[in-house]
Structure 1
Amino acid sequence: MATTDRQATTLALAHALTAAERGLAVIPLTRTKLPALRSPHRDNPAAPVCHGECGRFGHGVYDASTDARRIRELFAAAPWATGYGIACGLPPHHLIGIDLDTKSGTDSSTALRELALRHLFTIPPTVVVLTPSGGRHLWLTGPPDVAVPNSAGRLAPGIDVRGAGGYLVGPGSRTEHGVYGAAPGTAHLPPAPCPRALLRLLLPPPRAASRTGSGTSTAGHGQGLVQFVLAAHEGQRNTRLFWAACRAYENGLGPALIPALIEAARGTGLSEREARATIASAARLTRGRG
């Protein structure tokens, strides 16, 4: 068994290095598809939020890298790893994963076809990864200034989405249920651009400004957006800030609410520079919608 695990780790590292050569940032995973390295801060709940600034491994997708030396170090620190995860939302591909599940008892492939017919888009030829349970992962790329959030079943029953802060199990990974592998004829394809109509569906829907008898109520809505950002957990902060900023701009609150959103984002651990960059992306997207 130990020999088998060592072989699985060696193969996983080889596949991870190959993925990194294509510009895909990777981390080692266990047989349960979880990050192989635990947080170095797990025994200190009062520790400040850390995305790897401490210099140690164990920060999930924030450890992800395309650097071969760092990847070897990650796997050397996790000799029990039997797979690897590919971080979504990072340059140069800004990967978006469409996970067509089979375990929910729904026909997710049919659901995606119905969405495509209803919203007039076609999934272009792209990388398709087959899962041990019979599901499929479709790899798409998104615009560099749009953060697609992770979701489960929101697009349609049985369809999960992996976006910013999420990861996909890479082909060649061995899990408790079997091996992930690229579908025939797709392994060497580049991830295809996400159709614009599908991209709109992947982003949270805009909310109209609430109205009262005396006109538009913006103060309460703005405070709700600030609280939404403040409630973000690790891995959600950029996504929540992006969503809140989009809603603020759509409702005409953007300029007035920016300082409060930046302050809220800093309270969750983002730097002011990160917060301003995310808000600027939201401003560009909402201008494009207009």
Structure 2
Amino acid sequence: MATIDRQATTLALAHALSAAERGLAVIPLSRTKLPALRSPHRADAPDPARPRCHGECGRFGHGVYDASTDPARIRELFAAAPWATGYGIACGLPPYHLIGVDLDTKTGTDAPAALREIALRHLFTIPPTVVVMTPSGGRHLWLSGPPDVVVPNSAGRLAPGIDIRGAGGYLVGPGSRTEHGVYATAPGTAHLAPAPCPRALLRLLLPPPRTPRHPAPPSTGGHGQGLVQFVLGAHEGQRNTRLFWAACRAYENGIGPDLAGPLLAAALHAGLPEHEARATLASAARLTGHRP
């Protein structure tokens, strides 16, 4: 049985109720940052014919599907989990359709620098928004998404050390106490609402649409073929980045106009949508001082 820290639980409940007043749906979390209430179905034998329960049974223990903004229900959730010392904020729900950008520092990578590089490459800026500092020195950026777009959870797909919390995920709320310390809002950001996610960033967070594979591009000989092969070898999550890098090198070496067609064909063959590939090529041309 987990040790009950009533003071930490009382503080977590107070912070959770405050978040709910802002329209953020919450659940209680344990010191491990996991939902404090275990699934009521954990002892049930799996039945492939029966749809997975997301709280329709009326009992607590369905993780983020228990999340609520109703003060009475939140108090019931915490009463059922007196060992809770934190709270989670469900992402993807109205009114903010929250998207969490988790910049990790434990992996040995500089995630904030990686995000700045991505922003520079794709010509967007992160607007002033809520920033939550983690006990390990990382940061959670809160962004608001469009109501008609479902952003999936991902780990390291945007860049090493950058995780995304979207629909079906949750963020540890500020004021939560965990095994490693307390989550806190960065100075000067507590009063802010989650800022709209830049459209260019939003496109990077969405899974690419399924498109038919295009035939391999024609050979360009030895001139620039290495850049074409570099794009051809791209996997999901790195196709746009590789295309942008290769196009920049091509323009810098004076072969950008001649190699634009083969690079476009390579990107399509790798699975990048045509409109996105053309936009990336145009961005590379502009960044290197050429006309798209």
Which amino acid is the alignment partner of residue 208 of structure 1? T
The aligned counterpart of 2:143 is 140
Which amino acid is the alignment partner of residue 19 of structure 2? A
The aligned counterpart of 2:120 is 117
**Matches of 2:160 and 2:90, distance apart in 1:** 24
TM-score, length-scaled by structure 2: 0.71
- C-alpha deviations, 1:159-201, integer Å up to 9, x for none? 0000000000000000000000000000010000000000000
**Matches of 1:200 and 1:114, distance apart in 2:** 16
**Matches of 2:160 and 2:65, distance apart in 1:** 29
**Matches of 1:96 and 1:147, distance apart in 2:** 10
The aligned counterpart of 2:253 is none
The aligned counterpart of 1:152 is 155
Larger radius of gyration: 2
The aligned counterpart of 2:197 is 194
The aligned counterpart of 2:229 is none
The aligned counterpart of 1:57 is 60
- In the alignment, structure 1 residue 180 sits paired with structure 2 residue 198: no
- In the alignment, structure 1 residue 23 sits paired with structure 2 residue 23: yes
Shift of 1:45: 2.8
- C-alpha deviations, 1:79-103, integer Å up to 9, x for none? 0000000000001110000000000
Contact 2:4 2:83 in 1 (8 A): no
**Matches of 1:141 and 1:7, distance apart in 2:** 32
CA gap 1:114/1:64 in 2 versus in 1, 3 angstroms: same
The aligned counterpart of 2:33 is 33
CA gap 1:209/1:27 in 2 versus in 1, 3 angstroms: same
- In the alignment, structure 1 residue 79 sits paired with structure 2 residue 82: yes
Aligned to 1:28, the other structure's residue is in SS state strand
The aligned counterpart of 1:43 is 43
**Matches of 2:112 and 2:46, distance apart in 1:** 44
Contact 2:122 2:200 in 1 (8 A): yes
Shift of 1:204: 1.0
The aligned counterpart of 1:210 is 213
The aligned counterpart of 2:287 is none
The aligned counterpart of 1:275 is none
Which amino acid is the alignment partner of residue 16 of structure 1? A
Paired-residue identity, %: 85
Root-mean-square deviation (CA, aligned residues, Å) is: 1.8
**Matches of 2:42 and 2:22, distance apart in 1:** 33
- C-alpha deviations, 1:131-176, integer Å up to 9, x for none? 0000000000000010000000000010000000000000000000
Work out which of the residue numbers 161, 165, 170 in structure 1 matches 2:164.
161
Shift of 1:4: 7.4
**Matches of 1:67 and 1:5, distance apart in 2:** 24
Q: Which runs of 5+ in 2 are unaligned?
A: 216-272, 275-292
Q: Which runs of 5+ in 1 are unaligned?
A: 213-249, 252-290
**Matches of 2:37 and 2:210, distance apart in 1:** 39
The aligned counterpart of 1:92 is 95
**Matches of 2:104 and 2:38, distance apart in 1:** 27
**Matches of 1:45 and 1:20, distance apart in 2:** 35
Aligned to 1:98, the other structure's residue is in SS state strand
**Matches of 1:134 and 1:152, distance apart in 2:** 18
**Count of residues in correspondence between the two structures:** 214
Which portions of structure 1, spanning 4 or more consecutive aligned residues, are displaced by more than 3 angstroms? none
The aligned counterpart of 2:240 is none
**Matches of 2:80 and 2:22, distance apart in 1:** 23
Which amino acid is the alignment partner of residue 96 of structure 1? I
TM-score, length-scaled by structure 1: 0.71
